[in-house]
Structure formats: C-alpha cells, structure tokens
Amino acid sequence: MPDLVQEIYERVRHLDAQQQERVLDFIAHIDEPEFDFEAWLTQVNQIRADLRSRYGDQIFLDPQITLDEVREESSWPRSSS
C-alpha cells in the first residue's frame, strides 16, 4: 500500500464506528462542487430586484417582526368551541 493510503487506513482504523461513519459520509461528498457563493448572491439579488419591481420598495419582511407577530397572535385567548 502506498504510504498515504496506509496512513489513512491506520487513522480510520483507530476511530470508533460513529467516527468511521462520519469519515465515510465525508468521503462520499468530497467530490461534490463547493458552494458557489457568488452565483447564489447573484440569484438572491435577482429575486430581490424582481420583488421590488413587482411590489415596490414598501414591501419589507423582517423575520423578527414576523416572529413577534406570530407570538402575539398565538398568545391571544382562544374561544372554547
């Protein structure tokens, strides 16, 4: 066995079963392309521009405000049916 393969084998052999599973999962995904942040950001900006063109600059969705609103709505007393 080449030295590198032997070193990998030795290191993995000393891991417990859960750690070996994590190594296998990592190896299974190692050849996937890396996340393209620039492409994602371009797409997000495109969606944002589309929303602004449809609804104008007045639309604003703040996650914290939405969460507070949901909490407020759910805390109201409910009528018994």
22 in any annotated domain: no
According to the 3-state scheme, what is the secondary structure of the chain?
CCHHHHHHHHHHHCCCHHHHHHHHHHHHHCCCCCCCHHHHHHHHHHHHHHHHHHHCCCCCCCHHHHHHHHHHHHHCCCCCC
Q: Which tens digit of pLDDT belongs to each residue from 51-70? A: 888 877 776 677 888 888 88
11 in any annotated domain: no
**Domain count across the chain:** 1
Interatomic CA distance for residues 67 and 27, integer angstroms:
39
- Which residue range forms the structural domain that includes residue 48? 37-74
Q: What is the pLDDT of residue 60?
A: 66
69 in any annotated domain: yes
Q: What is the pLDDT of residue 1?
A: 63
23 in any annotated domain: no
17 in any annotated domain: no
Residue of higher predicted confidence among 25 and 76 = 25
Interatomic CA distance for residues 22 and 29, integer angstroms:
11
Q: Which tens digit of pLDDT belongs to each residue from 6-38? A: 999 999 999 999 999 999 999 998 888 888 999
53 in any annotated domain: yes
43 in any annotated domain: yes
Q: What is the pLDDT of residue 23?
A: 93
